[in-house]
Structure 1
Amino acid sequence: MWTMWPWAKAIRLLVLTSYKPHVAHLYNQVAIKPGQRLYMVNQLYPYTVRFTEETLTARSAAEGSNASKRSHRMSSEGNGEKIKSPANTTPSSDGSPPAKKTPPPGPDKAESAGHWSQGLKVSMQDPKMQVYKDDRVVVIKDKYPKARYHWLVLPWDSISSLKALRPEHVELLKHMQRVGDQMVRECRDAHKLHFRMGYHAIPSMSHVHLHVISQDFDSPCLKNKKHWNSFTTDYFVESQDVVAMLEHDGRVTVKEGASELLKLPLRCHACRKEQPTIPKLKEHLKTHLPA
């Protein structure tokens, strides 16, 4: 409400441009159209101006309600910016998470198909990514290889993680290992490079996948300590060890505190010499590359 008090011999001007307000003065009511100007001359009495909008239709009322909610949300977030989800994202490979639309649920819970951790499920269906497939598994190239040769063997069956494995999966894992062995045998550099096959104890990507990776680690995608330690410490569980656990215990157990292994110092996997930084480590690894 605006109240205007008279000044001696003063003339006041009020310009109203709001949406269809009504001006009530004593017993007079005047409807103002959008954009119309109202000139008020105050010589004697105070004026009280009340703004009221015309009755809204059901549709416009709903739109007004939504606008009010949007306005409230933006004001509560500050600077008019929308609240960002915990992560917006694109599919990434192990160790390269970028950002998410929803918080990642537990390994045994259903996840959104658009979530970055579901990227493998998309890649395994892409013919351009496939290098081998049969009725049980498919092999794809890792999008961000950590070595010269880095493949992922994935079952067609939906198995979210190592924790979801059961005794009935033993034969499937053995088949995955045989396919991995076949990939190594058919590699043109198999005679001069060493390979390992295994699983990450706590993978960043959903859907069980077996890494088949050469031990040169000669790749621009190997960028940080997490990448390195995920393949050169006990965080990387050998394929035959996973099969043995499943056969003996009926399940796969991940050691407590496995995530702490990613924080260990950078040590050469060949000579165990510690290196201060990734660039220094990569320079050192060149001394172990085959001629």
Structure 2
Amino acid sequence: MKRNRKLDTSEPATSKRNHWTAGLLKSMEDPECIIKKDDKIVVIKDKYPKAQFHYLVLPKEDILSIWQVTRNHQDLLIHMHEVAHGLVERHTSHEFIMGYHAMPSMQRLHLHVISTDFRSPCLKTKYHWNSFTTPFFLHSSDVSRQLHEEGEIKKISSQKCIDYLNTRLKCHKCTLQPKNMPDLKRHILIHTDKTNKILNVCKCI
């Protein structure tokens, strides 16, 4: 997902297919972008991936964002989660997280399925990093459980979202707080290499 050049604290954009926020809608119709589809969902690769593997699971139903989801969408969210798990199972040597952004900038509800190596030239800013490593990122299992138990998803205020995105940089694997993104990206390579070595050893056992 490509984030706007400046932080937008308003509600998600209203449906305008020619606006830049409609990019996902166009990708859903592009055979070259589609990874998988069924009667309920379409899976595409993120055009601006923030990790080595970054997929988006989108419903065919016209749901603008996570904040338009109702109790009636429980089965749909579960299906999206199951599809996401299927994608993760393709990459057994990588760790993944699955979830929604609290302040989405693109039209159509979309579930991020992203590897936690965060190795990508498109991962450039603190906002990019914090959108996946702070409570700004709403984990799929938590969202589904809350909808099931409470009948709704409790909205996070715009100010809280801004606070999360402005949080000081911190490694998602340890307590290091780097000075800037270049320092962080160099540091996380250490964790990625360690994880790959452990997984490779496990495969050999």
TM-score (norm 2): 0.88
**Structure ID, larger Rg:** 1
Correspondence 1:26-37 to 2 at 5 A: none
What is the distance in 2 between the residues matched to 1:243 and 1:158?
A: 19
User: Which letter does structure 2 place at the counterpart of 1:272?
Assistant: T
Counterparts in 2 of 1:106 and 1:226: CA distance versus 1, 3 Å: closer
Contact 1:117 1:206 in 2 (8 A): yes
Equivalenced residue count is: 191
2:201: which partner in 1?
none
- How much does 1:94 deviate? 3.5
Match of 1:133 among 37, 40, 43: 37
1:143 and 2:44 correspond: no
User: Which letter does structure 1 place at the counterpart of 2:141?
Assistant: Q
More helix by share: 2
Counterparts in 2 of 1:253 and 1:246: CA distance versus 1, 3 Å: same
What is the distance in 1 between the residues matched to 2:35 and 2:24?
A: 14
1:141-179 alpha-carbon deviations (Å, 9 max, x no partner) = 000100000000000000001111011100000000000
Correspondence 1:46-195 to 2 at 5 A: 93-95=1-3, 97-98=4-5, 106-107=11-12, 110-187=14-91, 190=92, 192-195=93-96
2:175: which partner in 1?
272
- How much does 1:98 deviate? 4.7
Counterparts in 2 of 1:260 and 1:105: CA distance versus 1, 3 Å: closer
1:228: which partner in 2?
129
Moved more, 160-169 or 247-256: 247-256
1:172-209 alpha-carbon deviations (Å, 9 max, x no partner) = 0000000000011123xx2x211110000111111100
1:82-124 alpha-carbon deviations (Å, 9 max, x no partner) = xxxxxxxxxxx242x259xxx99844x7432111111111111
What is the distance in 2 between the residues matched to 1:182 and 1:112?
A: 32
TM-score (norm 1): 0.63
1:207: which partner in 2?
108
Higher relative contact order (CA 8 A, sep 6+): 2
1:196: which partner in 2?
97
1:244: which partner in 2?
145
